[in-house]
């Protein structure tokens, strides 16, 4: 064995010993949470000491990532136990939901990729089969829209109902769809993927229909006034369903019940967080989209502002929050799964 190999062997042996000596204590911190301020403070001090040691000797190890997350969860618990507690609603939007999104960015990415793939399937299917659009959107909708196009008002469907009735109906439907996509995650995630498939194919065929009529750009400016928030929220609800399905399939070091409980809690937080998004989307569709003759700059502004909000709040801000608190005392939730994976 060469000198370099000897050093590497010694390095990994030391880390294995470090894990062996502390993993039971870390597991107890993770699986047996406490609200006692003294216990929280003691745990936090011990974990930050462990983290400092790991950062010094194993800076690129998964041990650092795990301790970073576990210490962060205890830091958040300490923060919640301060006497000067913030309003729980503000705390949810400012910390809880973003941190759930931060640790589940991969599920969000998968949901996005699934949805975009299904949109493309809808576009291609509509392109190669002229009956596909009617199969997906229904004869009634296609016939009505064809009539509206002949009248010179292709998006007249958004003016066909009283704004308040339209708002309430759309809000209920969107919330129902998102909840169903989430709950179908209980089918090992397959149900959620099907929900994304159905909505993605529908969007793809819908957009192809208007592009085939020479109204593609107009449809984006009109429909995506509300569609940006609505579609994004369905994708995020899909991420919640994938989290739930993943918790059933891959419990890791937790019991399956513990894993599913944790996945369900995270998913419910995401769905609750989407309620205002769906309400705002329904408001846009009921009261704003009907003004199909609004200036291009105005509809573009609403569309881009909605897109910026979704990307910032559900992707950028969670990462910034995680990184910002991590600089002082890391935030997040860990899992001992990496230990077993590395030892296998």
Confidence of residue 202 (pLDDT cuts 50, 70, 90): very high
Does the pLDDT of residue 13 top 60, yes or no?
A: no
Residue 25 confidence class, pLDDT cut points 50, 70, 90: confident
Please give the mean pLDDT across all residues of the chain: 84
pLDDT at 10: 52
pLDDT value for 54: 77
Q: 334 or 151, which is more confident?
A: 151
Domain-wise residue ranges, the chain = 3-85, 98-326
Buried b (16+ CB within 10 A) or exposed e, 77-101: bebeeeeeeeeeeeebeebbbbbbb
Q: Which pLDDT score is estimated for 27?
A: 82
Q: Kindly state the percentage of the chain with pLDDT values over 90.
A: 52
Which position has the higher pLDDT, 14 or 328?
Answer: 14
Whether the model clears a pTM of 0.85, i.e. scores above it, the answer is: no
Residue 126 contacts by C-beta under 8 Å, 6 or more apart in sequence?
Answer: 132, 133, 136, 204, 205, 208, 209, 212
Q: What is the mean pLDDT of residues 286-306?
A: 91
Residue 322 has pLDDT above 90, yes or no: no
pLDDT at 8: 47
Q: Give 38-71 pLDDT, tens digit per residue.
A: 677 778 888 887 877 777 777 777 777 787 877 7
Q: Which of 201 and 82 is assigned the larger pLDDT?
A: 201
Each residue's pLDDT tens digit, 228-275: 999 999 999 999 999 999 999 988 777 889 889 999 999 999 999 999
Q: What is the DSSP string of 5-55?
A: HHHHHHHHHHHHHHHHHHHHHHHHHHHS----HHHHHHHHHHHHHHHHHHH
Predicted pLDDT of residue 56: 74
Is the per-residue pLDDT at 127 higher than 90? yes
213 or 324, higher pLDDT? 213
pLDDT tens-place string over residues 323-334: 776 665 444 444
pLDDT band at residue 190 using 50, 70 and 90 as cut-offs: very high
DSSP code string of 115-169: HHHHHHHHHHHHHH-TTHHHHHH-HHHHHHHHHHHHTT-TTGGGGSS-HHHHHHH
Please give the angle made by the CA atoms of 143, 146 and 147, to the nearest 5 degrees.
90
Residue 281 clears pLDDT 70, i.e. is over it: yes
| pLDDT of the residue at 31 | 78
Per-residue pLDDT tens digits for 88-126? 788 889 888 998 999 899 999 999 999 999 999 999 999
């Amino acid at each position: 064995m060469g000198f370099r190999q000897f050093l590497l062997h010694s390095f990994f042996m030391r880390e294995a010993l470090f894990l062996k000596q502390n993993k039971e204590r870390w597991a107890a911190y993770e699986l047996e949470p406490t609200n006692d301020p003294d216990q929280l403070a003691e745990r936090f001090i011990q974990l930050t000491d462990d983290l400092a040691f790991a950062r010094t000797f194993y800076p690129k190890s998964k041990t650092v990532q795990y301790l970073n997350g576990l210490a962060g969860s205890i830091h958040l618990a300490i923060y919640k136990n301060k006497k000067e507690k913030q309003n729980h609603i503000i705390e949810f939007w400012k910390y809880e939901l973003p941190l759930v999104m931060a640790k589940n960015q991969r599920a969000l990415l998968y949901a996005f990729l699934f949805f975009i793939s299904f949109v493309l399937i809808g576009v291609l299917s509509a392109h190669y089969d002229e009956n596909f659009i009617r199969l997906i959107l229904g004869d009634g909708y296609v016939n009505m829209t064809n009539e509206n196009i002949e009248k010179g008002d292709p998006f007249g469907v958004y003016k066909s109902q009283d704004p308040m009735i339209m708002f309430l109906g759309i809000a209920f439907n969107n919330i129902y769809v998102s909840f169903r996509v989430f709950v179908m995650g209980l089918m090992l995630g397959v149900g959620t993927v099907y929900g994304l498939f159905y909505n993605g194919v529908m969007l793809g065929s819908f957009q192809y229909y208007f592009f085939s009529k020479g109204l593609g750009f107009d449809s984006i400016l009109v429909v995506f006034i509300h569609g940006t928030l609505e579609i994004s929220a369905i994708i995020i609800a899909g991420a919640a369903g994938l989290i739930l399905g993943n918790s059933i399939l891959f419990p890791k070091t937790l019991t399956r019940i513990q894993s599913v409980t944790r996945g369900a809690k995270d998913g419910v937080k995401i769905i609750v967080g989407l309620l205002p998004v769906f309400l705002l989307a329904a408001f846009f569709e009921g009261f704003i989209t009907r003004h199909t003759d609004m200036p291009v700059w105005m509809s573009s502004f609403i569309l881009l502002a909605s897109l910026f909000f979704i990307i910032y709040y559900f992707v950028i801000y969670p990462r910034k929050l995680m990184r910002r608190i991590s600089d002082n005392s890391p935030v997040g939730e860990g899992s001992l799964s990496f230990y077993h994976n590395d030892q296998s």
